[in-house]
Every structure is written in C-alpha cells, then in structure tokens.
Amino acid sequence: MKRTILALAIVLSLTLAAAAETAASVLKPPKGAQLAIVVFEDLQCPQCRRDAPLLEQAAKAYKIPLLIHDFPLPMHNWSYEAAVTARYFDSISKDLGDQYRDYIFQHQMEIIPQTLRGFSERFAAAHKVDLPFVIDPQGKFAAEVTADRDLAKTLNLDHTPTIFIVSNKTHGTPYVEVKQSKELYQTIDAMKAD
C-alpha cells in the first residue's frame, strides 16, 4: 500500500514538473516583446465573449501582444468548427481572423450548430472574401485548433477563458494567471514593475 502511494506521488510530481516545463516554454511573449497577454478561449464561452473586448483594450493600452489559443470545450457543440473557420480567416490575414472572432462573439447568443455556416458566410460576404464549401480540405486548420487544445490540456487547463500575463524575464515568475478579469490591469502593472 505504501509503495503504491509512493509510486503515485512520484508519477504526480513528474507530471507536474513536465507541465511546469511546458508552461515555461510556451507561456512567454513573442520575440522582441517584454510582456504579452496569452488567452486560451472558446468561441462559444459566454465569459470569453465578455472578456474579449477587455483583453483587446488592455493589449492596445499597454502596447503588448495579445496571443489567442483556441481551447474549444467538449460541452460546446459548435465552438470547434468556429475555431477552424477562424483559422481559415487567419490564413487570409490575422486581422480578418480577429474580426471573425469578434463577430462570432457578437452573435454568440444567436448561433446554433445549424446556423454557424450562415453566420460565417455573411461575415465573408461583408468582407468580400470567398468562403469555400469545404473550409479545411486537408485538415490543416483543424490540426492547428487541436494542437492548441492539446497544449491547453498539457498545461492542465480546464476552463475558459484562461488568461496569463507573460514576461520574458528569466528569474522569478515569468507568467501569472489572471483569475478574474477585473484584475487584468493590476496584474499587467505588477508584471511590468517586477
């Protein structure tokens, strides 16, 4: 019994160490930036919809990058498809992909699986972009969304939005999770001061 408990404790500590190492390698700003906001979001998540404008405002106010990772949760029945479509628009331009995400958040309460395609078509038409019948024939965009989701799982994330303020410092804590959106600006200020 004691050996089983000890073995489980060793496995748990190795798993936590691997997650911490992965977090340290992933949760950092892009090259040349001192700080960044990293968010794992689900396009069907109501809290993600509420926090998205605040994250964009903070990124602009502090002139820091906002890095978005897709983390479609299993209980949401159209978020994965929406994330794949967002990746399609990202492939045309990052700005267009960001606008699509904002558009989906704006219409989130109206969307069901059967109407998502229609919303995507209206967005494409309004931006004079063709939306192919098959958006991802090679599965490239789905693989990108799945990679983001797998990354979130590797980091042991279980909710959206999960928001981090990340820095390029090599000592102390290089990233901090923002538990409540009302603490976003305070957390950025603290990371800047540190």
Residue 17 counted as domain residue: no
Name the domain count of the chain. Answer: 1
Residue 114 three-state SS:
coil
Cα–Cα distance for residue pair 74/160, rounded to 1 Å = 12
Residue 49 counted as domain residue: yes
Cis-peptide, bond into residue 161, ω within 30° of zero: yes
Q: How far apart are the first and last CA of the chain?
A: 46
Residue 20 counted as domain residue: no
Closest CA to 59 of 48, 47, 50, 51: 51
For residue 155, give the DSSP letter: T
pLDDT band at 7 (very low <50, low <70, confident <90, very high): very low
Beta strands in 43-150 (DSSP E): 66-70
Residue 148 counted as domain residue: yes
* Chain centroid, CA 128 distance in Å: 27
Residue 126 counted as domain residue: yes
Instruction: For 68-119, write each residue's pLDDT tens digit.
Output: 999 999 999 999 999 999 999 999 999 999 999 999 999 999 999 999 999 9
Residue 103 counted as domain residue: yes
Look up the domain containing 63 and give its range: 26-193
Q: Does position 10 have pLDDT exceeding 60, yes or no?
A: no
Residue 13 counted as domain residue: no
Residue 14 counted as domain residue: no
Instruction: For 108-126, write each residue's pLDDT tens digit.
Output: 999 999 999 999 999 999 9
Kindly give, in sequence order, each residue whose CB lies less than 8 Å from that of residue 185, ignoring residues fewer than 6 positions away. Answer: 58, 61
The CATH number of residue 48's host domain is 3.40.30.10
- The strand pairing partners of 166, in sequence order, are 36, 175
Give the model's pLDDT for residue 23. Answer: 64
